Structure 1
Amino acid sequence: MADHTATKHIVLIHGAWQGSWSFDAWRPWLERAGWRTHAVDLPGNGWGPTAHDPANLSTYTDHVVATLDALDAPAVVLGHSGGGITASQVAEAAPDRVIGLVYLAGMMLASGQSFADLVRDVARADPDAPVAGISPYLDTDRVADTTRVRPEGALACFLQDCEPQAAQRAIAMLRAQPESGRRMMNHLTPERFGRVPRIYVECRNDASVTLPLQRAMQHASPGAHVLSLACGHVPQLVQTEALSQTLIPELDALHRVT
């Protein structure tokens, strides 16, 4: 029987070059709706006590599972952008601790599929599809095996619909991203990952994980309930009210049936 008195927890997983700060503007909206928010800083991403730890899907998954294990009830796990890969693997690792997955313009990849595979397949199917995203705007440090987003790229792909001052604050917070934390591939099973309910929040004006890529992931990994917003890549910063009005009722429904 569902325990409707259980605490409403949501774990928020950031994407590449970001940190837990990327959810700061949205967390008050969730908390006013009764959700306790837990925004993680993934290992090796430049923030928090694990800022310089190895960055890979195993360390990311272990870090989020440890966060879940410290809570008094199962949680919704939300992955923004590349954080979607980690969210999926967390559900595979600890399905009993996850009441639902949310992909916020997230990488909801099929098992054994990399994001590079997805981009290649979409480009082959439609050579005119916009799939380049942030790639042309990355500076690579081959010695450190990291990439960094140039400011003009962040404005063009992440923050094109953001208020200028807020955009500049966000750009100043971006960090170098270990490529080991982007070269990731899920290994998922129907028995574990497959039993966790999923919501996909597509961002129709996204210039990073573009709409053709989002739709291709929905097709390749069917079964998610799809919500749609007319915004760019970071609705948690740019469209906090619209995101809240669209998503929070769905989060509450997940909590009620747990």
Structure 2
Amino acid sequence: MRFDPVLLIHGAWQGAWAWDAFVPALAAAGLAAEALDLPGNGTTPATEPVSLDLHVRHVRAAMARIGRPVSLVAHSGGGLVASQVAEADPDGVARIVYVTGMMLPDGMAFADLVRGTIGEHPEAAGIGPHLVWSDDRSSSTVPEAAALAFFYHDCPAETARSAARRLTPQPEGGRAVRPRLTAARFGRVPRLYVEATADRSVVPILQRRMQALVPGAAVVSLPTGHAPQLVAPRLLAEAITPFLTTTTARRRVEHATTEYVTADHSIADDLTADDFATRIQQRERTR
């Protein structure tokens, strides 16, 4: 059976490199995946001011080159791009997987969600207070120490350092955005949300609130930090492959909501944050 091709969309400060360990894991499941550099990120310069629209056009150009419906797998802030692509071309997007992604409702920025949560949950601030801004505040960078603490704390030390050092300045025009979405277009694309229960950047309370604000997604939980595609690529691939390979994604969403979620939520039961990295490394070694 020929499965829908997969386009991988990275989050802020990252590039296509963020998926390097994950592409082979999907290939082992028979899925062809391509990781994109969004303009202004990674090694791809922007030829115009960075915006959500620019990123959407970039992804749609890749879709046009492929010439058939694709699955979008989006990490963190890449979720905003995936949602807007689905709004622009719902027939071209077979399904979306949000990997601890920003699955926000129409008109809401991630900063709005954080502001509404931080009073009761100070940890929702995530990486924000640690960013270093350009003089005109048009871009931000993540100090290595902050990246290690908030993005890659459960990764092997050398893997974490390598990833932290590859982060690049993030244009604010591609980060502080509000998607414009409708039920008639975005709302008919099947979605799967991958929770990362040890995430210190998009913390679990924010992940759960996004699921409530944009209902209808299937949910699976993994006991990782912010970058499951880096720390546990085979575990992540195993978790999302059933959704990516079904020929009736909508039916799979309904099934996942009642059974798939319950089974995978138990992965993190009674684990402390310090246990997560050990558990993940053990799982990866046995795969």
Higher relative contact order (CA 8 A, sep 6+): 1
Task: Return the alpha-carbon distance in structure 2 between the equivalents of residues 256 and 205 of structure 1.
Answer: 28
Segments of 5+ residues of structure 2 without an aligned counterpart are 252-287
> Is the partner of 1:8 in helix, strand or coil?
coil
CA positional deviation for 1:8: 2.8
Segments of 5+ residues of structure 1 without an aligned counterpart are none
The equivalences for 1:1-258 within 5 A come to 5-48=1-44, 50-51=45-46, 53-124=48-119, 127-143=120-136, 145-254=138-247
Task: Return the alpha-carbon distance in structure 1 between the equivalents of residues 28 and 248 of structure 2.
Answer: 16
Change (3 A) 1:112 1:245: same
> Is the partner of 1:186 in helix, strand or coil?
coil
Task: Return the alpha-carbon distance in structure 1 between the equivalents of residues 109 and 137 of structure 2.
Answer: 22
Task: Return the alpha-carbon distance in structure 2 between the equivalents of residues 184 and 254 of structure 1.
Answer: 33
2:25 maps to a residue whose letter is W
Task: Return the alpha-carbon distance in structure 1 between the equivalents of residues 222 and 64 of structure 2.
Answer: 32
Q: Is the 8 A contact 2:192 2:220 kept in 1?
A: yes
Q: Moved runs in structure 1, 4+ residues, more than 4 A?
A: 254-258
Task: Return the alpha-carbon distance in structure 2 between the equivalents of residues 121 and 20 of structure 1.
Answer: 31
CA positional deviation for 1:36: 1.1
TM-score normalised according to structure 1 size: 0.93
> Is the partner of 1:58 in helix, strand or coil?
helix
Task: Return the alpha-carbon distance in structure 1 between the equivalents of residues 180 and 9 of structure 2.
Answer: 18
CA positional deviation for 1:123: 2.5
Change (3 A) 1:224 1:129: farther
Task: Return the alpha-carbon distance in structure 1 between the equivalents of residues 92 and 42 of structure 2.
Answer: 27
Task: Return the alpha-carbon distance in structure 2 between the equivalents of residues 18 and 47 of structure 1.
Answer: 10
CA positional deviation for 1:7: 4.6
CA positional deviation for 1:246: 1.2
Change (3 A) 1:205 1:238: same
Please give the root-mean-square deviation of Cα atoms over the aligned residues, in Å.
1.7
Task: Return the alpha-carbon distance in structure 1 between the equivalents of residues 249 and 128 of structure 2.
Answer: 41
Task: Return the alpha-carbon distance in structure 1 between the equivalents of residues 177 and 46 of structure 2.
Answer: 19
Q: Is the 8 A contact 2:95 2:249 kept in 1?
A: no
2:36 maps to a residue whose letter is V
> Is the partner of 2:198 in helix, strand or coil?
coil
Task: Return the alpha-carbon distance in structure 1 between the equivalents of residues 118 and 155 of structure 2.
Answer: 28
Task: Return the alpha-carbon distance in structure 2 between the equivalents of residues 255 and 20 of structure 1.
Answer: 29
Task: Return the alpha-carbon distance in structure 2 between the equivalents of residues 257 and 220 of structure 1.
Answer: 19
Q: Is the 8 A contact 1:122 1:216 kept in 2?
A: no
Q: Is the 8 A contact 1:45 1:52 kept in 2?
A: no
> Is the partner of 2:219 in helix, strand or coil?
strand
The Cα offsets for residues 119-146 of structure 1, whole Å up to 9 and x where unpaired, read as: 111224xx23520100122110123611
Q: Is the 8 A contact 1:73 1:97 kept in 2?
A: yes
Q: Is the 8 A contact 1:114 1:185 kept in 2?
A: yes
**Greater helix share, structure number:** 2
